[in-house]
């Protein structure tokens, strides 16, 4: 069901009001306690918030810019998948980070090999937000799909995908940046979702479905997790990120089929996540393999 055509006012559909940019900026940027976010912009529509911030990073934009789109027309998920949603029915937000530079508090740069944890860190922050004001027992499917209980659809455990994360390095000679994008389904009805295994906060029975509130919760959690990670110079163990991720990751302990970027497949038991964020799979008859990238399917018992 498509609500609010392209010529309608943002306030035509009161179930899907526009985000309040000035209020969000006061809460997240101008707040006296400070934080990671230096600037926040809300745009009516764009192709991809990640692509926009990658371009901004290449132009020298400092760390801490947040870009939110009411409508994202060419959004991208992991492995090149398309991500779209009806206007103002979801959150599409990207942030620009420069972990390779000293931060304003004087903390040293984070070594580049540890930047791969940023995508997992953002997944943890999304779970923090959904477990907080939304009061949903959210979990993660490796590496950073956000799942919440949802029946009768969803997967074999009654979990549906409500969000995901995509982190990309903006290749800039001498001054690289990382853009972390997140998409969270908020008010979609079942016929507005791409598959029966997807859900929204509304369908999952969230205590809060106000996008301003959910966005604030996510960005505050992301700032806290990022600052703690920076304080530990990106060490996921010392900073507590690895432990938090393992607690949230429902993939561990499941039988899985992993579709690798090469086209190969692995099947076995997912029995851990290592300190580099890789999924450890005990492959049937072939020992243990550390998977850095791939598409994971949770296999039903006997399936």
Q: Give, as one character, the DSSP assignment of residue 46.
A: B
Residue ranges and CATH numbers for the domains of the chain are: 21-248 (3.30.930.10), 255-298 (2.30.30.100)
Q: What is the mean pLDDT of residues 276-288?
A: 92
Per-residue pLDDT band for 3 (boundaries 50, 70, 90) equals very low
Per-residue pLDDT band for 108 (boundaries 50, 70, 90) equals very high
Task: Give Dmax over CA atoms of the chain in angstroms.
Answer: 60
Beta bridge partners of 210: none
99 three-state secondary structure = coil
Per-residue pLDDT band for 105 (boundaries 50, 70, 90) equals confident
Q: Which two tokens stand for residue 150?
A: 């949802």
Question: Which whole-number Å values give the CA distances from 142 to 72, 88, 147, 196, 302, in the listed order?
Answer: 25, 27, 11, 20, 21
Burial of 100 (0-12, 13-18, 19+ CB in 10 A): middle
Q: Which two tokens stand for residue 64?
A: 């801490």
Instruction: Give the integer Cα–Cα distance in Å for 116 and 234.
Output: 10
Residues whose CB is less than 8 angstroms from the CB of residue 64 and which lie 6 or more positions away in sequence, other chains included = 36, 37, 38, 39, 95, 96, 97
Give 196-238 pLDDT, tens digit per residue. Answer: 889 999 999 999 999 999 999 999 999 999 999 999 999 999 9
Residue 226 has phi, psi (to 5 degrees) of -65, -45
Per-residue pLDDT band for 12 (boundaries 50, 70, 90) equals low
Greatest mean pLDDT among 139-153, 170-184, 266-280: 266-280
Instruction: Give the integer Cα–Cα distance in Å for 106 and 102.
Output: 6
Contact between 84 and 24 under an 8 Å Cβ cutoff? The reply is no
Instruction: Give the integer Cα–Cα distance in Å for 131 and 217.
Output: 10
Please name the helix (run of DSSP H) or strand (run of DSSP E) that holds residue 298, with its range, or none.
strand 295-298
Q: Which pLDDT score, from 0 to 100, does residue 195 have?
A: 87
Q: Which pLDDT score, from 0 to 100, does residue 103 have?
A: 85
Mean pLDDT of the chain: 90
Burial of 200 (0-12, 13-18, 19+ CB in 10 A): buried
Q: Which two tokens stand for residue 172?
A: 């800039």
Angle between helices 241-248 and 211-231 (to 10 degrees): 140
Instruction: Give the integer Cα–Cα distance in Å for 4 and 18.
Output: 12
Give 43-58 pLDDT, tens digit per residue. Answer: 999 999 999 999 999 9
Instruction: Specify the higher pLDDT residue, 12 or 25.
Output: 25
Q: Where are the alpha helices (DSSP H) in the chain?
A: 21-28, 49-58, 117-131, 211-231, 241-248
Angle between helices 117-131 and 211-231 (to 10 degrees): 140
133 three-state secondary structure = coil
Q: Give, as one character, the DSSP assignment of residue 4.
A: S
How many CA within 13 A on the CB side of residue 113?
Answer: 4
């Amino acid at each position: 069901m498509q609500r609010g055509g392209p010529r309608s006012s943002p306030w035509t559909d009161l179930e899907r009001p526009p985000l309040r940019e000035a209020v969000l900026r006061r809460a997240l940027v101008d707040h006296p306690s400070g934080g990671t976010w230096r600037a926040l912009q809300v745009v009516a529509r764009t192709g991809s918030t990640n692509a926009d911030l990658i371009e901004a990073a290449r132009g020298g934009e400092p760390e801490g810019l947040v870009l939110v789109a009411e409508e994202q027309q060419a959004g991208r998920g992991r492995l090149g998948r398309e991500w779209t949603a009806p206007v103002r029915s979801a959150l599409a937000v990207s942030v620009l980070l420069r972990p390779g530079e000293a931060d304003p508090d004087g903390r040293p740069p984070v070594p580049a090999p540890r930047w791969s944890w940023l995508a997992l860190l953002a997944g943890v922050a999304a779970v923090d937000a959904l477990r907080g004001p939304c009061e949903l027992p959210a979990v993660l499917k490796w590496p950073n799909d956000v799942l919440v209980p949802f029946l009768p659809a969803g997967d074999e455990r009654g979990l549906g995908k409500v969000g995901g994360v995509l982190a990309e390095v903006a290749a800039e000679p001498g001054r690289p940046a990382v853009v972390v994008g997140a998409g969270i389904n908020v008010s979609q009805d079942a016929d507005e979702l791409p598959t029966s295994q997807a859900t929204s906060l509304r369908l999952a029975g969230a205590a809060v479905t106000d996008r301003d509130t959910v966005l604030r919760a996510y960005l505050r959690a992301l700032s806290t997790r990022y600052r703690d990670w920076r304080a530990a110079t990106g060490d996921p163990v010392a900073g507590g990120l690895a432990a938090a991720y393992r607690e949230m990751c429902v993939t561990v302990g499941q039988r899985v089929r992993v579709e690798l970027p090469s086209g190969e497949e692995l099947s076995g038991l997912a029995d851990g996540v290592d300190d580099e964020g890789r999924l450890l799979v005990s492959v049937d008859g072939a020992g243990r393999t550390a998977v850095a990238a791939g598409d994971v399917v949770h296999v039903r018992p006997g399936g």
